[in-house]
Amino acid sequence: MESFHGRFRDECLNREQLWTLTEARVVIEDFRCDYNHHRPHSKLGYQSPARFAANSTAPSSAPVALRAPYAEDGQSKPTNLNIKTRSSD
């Protein structure tokens, strides 16, 4: 995280004069897209994330579905809790 923050400051914030909040949002979004999609990363063998994903032999991430409630895996169904309230006398 510290490496990213240093790189973000050096390669984005120190190179730009940001006069408005809108301008800052545009510049930061451009940096984010470039960093996350096009820039080579050392942890990915100096490939961009897009190229690494295209060359990866790992299975693609499939949407994760929630399991059916109270599947037959030893879980017991919850019982209705009857909460008694104290009646005023």
Whole-number pLDDT of residue 62:
55
List the structure tokens of 34: 């470039």
At residue 75's C-alpha, the angle toward residues 70 and 81, to 5°, is 80
What DSSP string describes 61-77? Answer: PPPPPPPPTT-TTTPPP
pTM: 0.51
**Using CA atoms, how far apart are residues 53 and 12, in angstroms rounded to an integer?**
25
Whole-number pLDDT of residue 25:
93
For 20, other C-beta atoms within 10 Å of its C-beta total 8
Q: Give percent of the chain above pLDDT 70.
A: 63
The structure tokens 């990363």 sit at 41
